[in-house]
A and B are shown apart, each in its own frame.
Chain A
């Protein structure tokens, strides 16, 4: 027997935020009020502040509490409001208690604490949506005074100013594009007929509805934001009389969608928008506002709803539709971190006469050929992180190397000649390490010149290796290694790749360690070395990834000094992945330092005699011009998945080529290198220029639509973005120590520069993670084996943004939680269905979870995909989501049909190949139903049958599959059922198709596209309009099925079918309705979106009216109905509650019973909630 429905956890949009101290912030999410401490970044309290309304606003009593240290807070949403008492505990922490809860007569737009001198009490002023103000007693909720503005209209926004009743001023943002400033003429009581209060000022310039208003601290200015995408600032001191219209003192464009909220701070204006960003404008001393935003904070894809600043105006917190909560430090505003190159500081190269040594003739066409980050600005020995100025080397075409140093003030900076070498003239390529410690210049004659700085930062060390290459040097990569040493990888026009080690302790010592052989027609574009793990990776210009294992002898950092004489080892390729990024240049490869943390300590390298001395497992990230970032795991192991065994598609294998002789000769088996693709994600619709680690955090530099963007990949915060033309596309990034990155852009004779604040954890962080800022449309769950060998319950969700997200559910002993762990974006439009393939051969019973699970998704554009989901035990338990197979489009190209639902019909292991095969059905918006065969081993979807007759004639909405009869496989009959917008249910007997594909059928024997055949049953008018969802339960030993369906017509219907006649294929009498269709017409007040069986006679439903209900289904309609309502037809309501998930689209039973207790109910829509059953 199941218990009553109750809320277990929710993840909802954040619609209100308010600081109550300088560091403690209250957050409204659904009906719950959550307190976070921004210093400890912990959730410190939670309370259900309202009963069934979403919290839209929080107002704290700004005056410091007197003795009891309790702070009073008004929390409101729609017509509800409540008083919450927050007790701050000494030494941190707090408790929240609900003092009172009231209902107002109208929708509340704003609340404010106001002092009534006559009673010496603090009152609550409420601004109501019909442009009315009510002054309420916070103890009784009684309306003591009220006022009505002369302008009778609906408000989208309101704000108060003034601490006392006499001084109270209201700003109303109306549906008619105006902001009205009025002083309420308060009358006692709550009369409908109170006299109109005159409008003081009418601020009229917006071209759209006003969504947000706010007063400045002094009340002298008011800001408003609107449908017209602007933020406008108005000066009330100068405002003209109401009859005239005042003009805004600033009109700020920048947001690319509607603007919801704004803050007027002493130094800044902040706005939050539908475009998923917050924007910051600087407010000058005289109240003047610069028209260009000084900062832009990208939080999510859509809708930042809530915004608040703390009292000292050092922090802003923003809450968004995806449930994410970001804290931004205003002090971290770097000033210039975006815009166009015009706005950047420029440092022009001095005339040649100024730097060329005497006697050298100036060149006519002198220009900066390349440039590099300058000498080190932090002490690499002590590891001290000095925040020094930017430093760059401009390597002129003439061969002069000019050093540019940023000046402390905003002067253009200083230029010095660092080095002059006529032989450099016409050099080929230059590059520097990220820390600026070493710069290398490759020349056309195959020589490489290395420049390094001394203690004072001057270029004091130069070393040239002549003719290291036999052809022109075409690419250089330098990466830092421990102990003042660097790895230099160079390649030339002949595709020869050399690995050198540089040490700059006092002088530059240089050792060429090895040569790498790349296959024909493969040119190095990027490279990385992990000495600790023992791998070298090269990304090619044509999308390939090449991996070499490094012999232990070469991994040690020592051994730079010798060289020259001995024969250069040539290292062979261990494994490669051609076209890992399609045909796109792999612009960046980096070993993931996060995952490499567990690597063996560098230097304490493995003994060459050690049998486990193969390279260590580690993670590799690649970025390419296709905008995709991929994560690979590199590992070495015995030949179990050697080439002969044909490795799976997500893996590439090759024998280790360079392990020591002792290993090879003494080993009983060969070791193989494995490249395993773990995840792939499109970061941008443009291209990825570089991935780099700065202070241990991964950053991505991307280029999209003439814009260079740097993103912190941990917080996904965009650090800066610049517009600069494609032709100018030369940039360098230098880490200047401290918390900033130097960004340098090169023009012909000038260096444009700026600093970008690294928004590390201290300056910007997420207090809460977001899931999806768009509607979630589908969800399913499955267990996988986690890193510790236990079980992890994963919830997969997909929705309007086309992103597949994996959430990890934790339950049992601890407080239940749902945490986003992975995401993948391959669908180009909405995902409408998500289904895990059941565990192979699982027939109930407790069973260990599989290492990996397969998942199917489908949606817009007829896209149908299979994914492989696993937890990598070696990679910190990271969840990998990998696209496994993509179905060919079945619909005519010009129809833009969508797959509306999918269902898994059968799965089996094909005896011939041993591969797993899944049979599934899809229903589409062009009225068709398809059957597919998915061969997991060969990654292939094949459409095996289709409903040629289009029996539905209407858009198919929902599907189910079930099996009737007994006996193994062929004694039973397989059915697929489909429901459509016309309220019709159709049942298809697909037994023959399933049987045809179950046997050992070879590929060549497979039939072409078959017709599914005539329906086994058609039920018309199950619903008046669409059958949004239905579930099927097989009863009576497989002789009957019970179908429960939910319709667009608000009703729940139940019917039973049984096997009729012989049930032969093609016989329309295969299934017959027994009895009649029973309908509970009043089940919901709006479309029923999902129906699932949760027990033998229990059905749960969720509808657009945000009600989740559980129904019991009596054996037949004549049974007495438990809830006593008429016409219930034996479908009785057992429990119903309100969900805060707006537009709930799907529901799934979550197998939380394996943690003890009952299963739970997962509801997804705009947000996610889980209910105990």
Chain B
């Protein structure tokens, strides 16, 4: 496969490299903002690596800053280390730990965040129900830490998989936010079940006490949450991004008329070492040719 092969198949992959984003997902957050106007105040990026959303937050919050305002405050949290970004404070930590929440709040000098975003996703196994469950737990963990750091009225944006039991997740999110939308940016492929929940106006139940000791669980099925039929929890769908923009499913020629001439580029951020690194080394050493 040639170097330009992925560029041909995926216009946003190419654009991300051209515009210096660490991943194509940067466009997804930008397009969510086009619709919901979410960039303001202090922001937290959960599961930040490789850092494209932090890049977007840094650039856009800087842009939205009015004269005399202090520099935007952005905290990026991830288990993995991430290449440094100007204007972004990094915390290498676990989002299920109370200490991480405390670190975030201490960075904001005791203040709470206006926006929490999370683009985290597990490595999918191919068992859709399991993948959706793990993704839901990741979001609920993100929501749990969010309840410690987000101000009332704040915004939460997270990646979801629109699978079999997604309505249970919607039901849980609706407990904490007045308005929940599901957004599909045009840079997210039509063929992918990925979408983003945009939760506006954080408003936890009056008796809710943030507690990191126990995980938040998705709500069970019951009469209020039927699995089929028209009484399911319904969350409005919003397509984001300019229709005149690029289509992530479309195949474009390498020379796009209003872009600069095409050239192959390396990714802005090379991938971190994968779990199968050793297996890869063995493969290069021809181990698998000999092994049964």
Task: Say yes or no: is B9 at the interface (Cβ < 8 Å to chain A).
Answer: yes
Question: Which residues 298-313 in A have Cβ within 8 Å of B in the complex?
Answer: 302-303, 305
| Given A207-B278, A227-B275, A706-B289: A1143 touches B128 (CB 8 Å cut-off) | yes
Task: Say yes or no: is B236 at the interface (Cβ < 8 Å to chain A).
Answer: yes
The residues of B that contact A661 with a CB separation of less than 8 Å are none
Task: Say yes or no: is B86 at the interface (Cβ < 8 Å to chain A).
Answer: no
Segment from B53-61, B159-167, B196-204 that makes contact with A: B159-167
Instruction: Judge whether A1082 and B137 touch: CB under 8 Å.
Output: no
Instruction: Judge whether A1087 and B290 touch: CB under 8 Å.
Output: no
| Given A152-B96, A292-B291, A293-B291: A957 touches B230 (CB 8 Å cut-off) | no
The residues of A that contact B220 with a CB separation of less than 8 Å are 79, 103, 105
Chain A min CB distance to B27 (Å):
15
Task: Say yes or no: is B121 at the interface (Cβ < 8 Å to chain A).
Answer: no
Chain A min CB distance to B253 (Å):
5
Docked pose: A1060 CA to B116 CA in angstroms: 52
Nearest opposing residue in chain B for A321, CB measure: B126
Chain A min CB distance to B7 (Å):
10
Instruction: Judge whether A154 and B275 touch: CB under 8 Å.
Output: no
Instruction: Judge whether A338 and B251 touch: CB under 8 Å.
Output: no
The residues of A that contact B105 with a CB separation of less than 8 Å are none
B162 partner, pick from A175, A981, A1028, A1104, beta carbons under 8 A:
A1104
Task: Say yes or no: is A391 at the interface (Cβ < 8 Å to chain B).
Answer: no
The residues of A that contact B238 with a CB separation of less than 8 Å are 1024
Docked pose: A337 CA to B230 CA in angstroms: 58
| Given A254-B291, A279-B292, A1025-B186: A1125 touches B230 (CB 8 Å cut-off) | yes
The residues of A that contact B184 with a CB separation of less than 8 Å are 1024-1025, 1048-1049
Q: What 0/1 pattern do residues 68 to 112 of B give for CB contact below 8 A with A?
A: 000000000000000000000000000010000000000000000
* Max count, chain B CB within 10 A of own CB: residue among A229, A254, A957, A1107: A229
* Max count, chain B CB within 10 A of own CB: residue among A207, A293, A340, A1081: A207
Q: What 0/1 pattern do residues 166 to 198 of B give for CB contact below 8 A with A?
A: 110010000000000010101000100100000
B249 partner, pick from A305, A337, A981, A1143, beta carbons under 8 A:
A981
Instruction: Judge whether B239 and A1025 touch: CB under 8 Å.
Output: yes
Nearest opposing residue in chain B for A1126, CB measure: B230
The residues of B that contact A864 with a CB separation of less than 8 Å are none
Docked pose: A292 CA to B292 CA in angstroms: 8
Instruction: Judge whether B215 and A925 touch: CB under 8 Å.
Output: no
Nearest opposing residue in chain B for A1026, CB measure: B190
Task: Say yes or no: is B5 at the interface (Cβ < 8 Å to chain A).
Answer: yes
The residues of A that contact B227 with a CB separation of less than 8 Å are 52, 1138
Per DSSP, chain B at the interface is loop
Docked pose: A13 CA to B128 CA in angstroms: 11
Chain B min CB distance to A1065 (Å):
28
Task: Say yes or no: is B15 at the interface (Cβ < 8 Å to chain A).
Answer: no
Task: Say yes or no: is A474 at the interface (Cβ < 8 Å to chain B).
Answer: no
Segment from A525-533, A565-573, A673-681, A889-897 that makes contact with B: A889-897
The residues of B that contact A924 with a CB separation of less than 8 Å are 251
B190 partner, pick from A258, A296, A955, beta carbons under 8 A:
A955
| Given A1085-B162, A1142-B164: A228 touches B276 (CB 8 Å cut-off) | yes
Question: Which residues 16-71 in B have Cβ within 8 Å of A in the complex?
Answer: none
Question: Which residues 189-237 in B have Cβ within 8 Å of A in the complex?
Answer: 190, 193, 213-215, 217, 220-221, 227-230, 232, 234-237
Instruction: Judge whether A1050 and B290 touch: CB under 8 Å.
Output: no
| Given A897-B251, A1049-B184, A1143-B193: A230 touches B162 (CB 8 Å cut-off) | no
B292 partner, pick from A103, A130, A339, A1107, beta carbons under 8 A:
A339
Chain A min CB distance to B255 (Å):
9
Instruction: Judge whether A53 and B129 touch: CB under 8 Å.
Output: yes
The residues of B that contact A1128 with a CB separation of less than 8 Å are 230
B275 partner, pick from A208, A305, A1104, A1142, beta carbons under 8 A:
A208
Chain B min CB distance to A977 (Å):
18
The residues of B that contact A230 with a CB separation of less than 8 Å are 278-279
Docked pose: A302 CA to B243 CA in angstroms: 37
Nearest opposing residue in chain A for B230, CB measure: A1125
A1086 partner, pick from B126, B166, B249, B283, beta carbons under 8 A:
B166
Task: Say yes or no: is B123 at the interface (Cβ < 8 Å to chain A).
Answer: yes
The residues of B that contact A129 with a CB separation of less than 8 Å are 133, 137
Instruction: Judge whether B276 and A208 touch: CB under 8 Å.
Output: yes
Docked pose: A54 CA to B292 CA in angstroms: 33
Q: What 0/1 pattern do residues 946 to 963 of A give for CB contact below 8 A with B?
A: 000000011101000000
The residues of B that contact A229 with a CB separation of less than 8 Å are 276, 278-279
Instruction: Judge whether B162 and A1105 touch: CB under 8 Å.
Output: yes
B247 partner, pick from A293, A723, A981, beta carbons under 8 A:
A981
The residues of B that contact A954 with a CB separation of less than 8 Å are 247, 249-250
The residues of A that contact B162 with a CB separation of less than 8 Å are 1050, 1085-1087, 1104-1105
Chain A min CB distance to B163 (Å):
7
B290 partner, pick from A53, A209, A337, A339, beta carbons under 8 A:
A339
The residues of A that contact B229 with a CB separation of less than 8 Å are 1123, 1133, 1136
The residues of B that contact A340 with a CB separation of less than 8 Å are 290
The residues of A that contact B217 with a CB separation of less than 8 Å are 105-106
What are 20 A-B residue pairs whose CB atoms fall within 8 Å in the complex? A103-B221, A129-B133, A130-B215, A154-B137, A156-B134, A209-B275, A229-B276, A253-B291, A254-B288, A256-B288, A292-B292, A295-B292, A981-B249, A1048-B190, A1082-B234, A1085-B170, A1086-B162, A1086-B193, A1133-B229, A1138-B227
Apart from A230-B278, A1049-B237, A1138-B228, list 4 A-B contacts with CB within 8 A: A228-B276, A292-B292, A303-B126, A1028-B190
A-B residue pairs, 3 tightest by C-beta: A208-B275, A1086-B162, A1142-B128
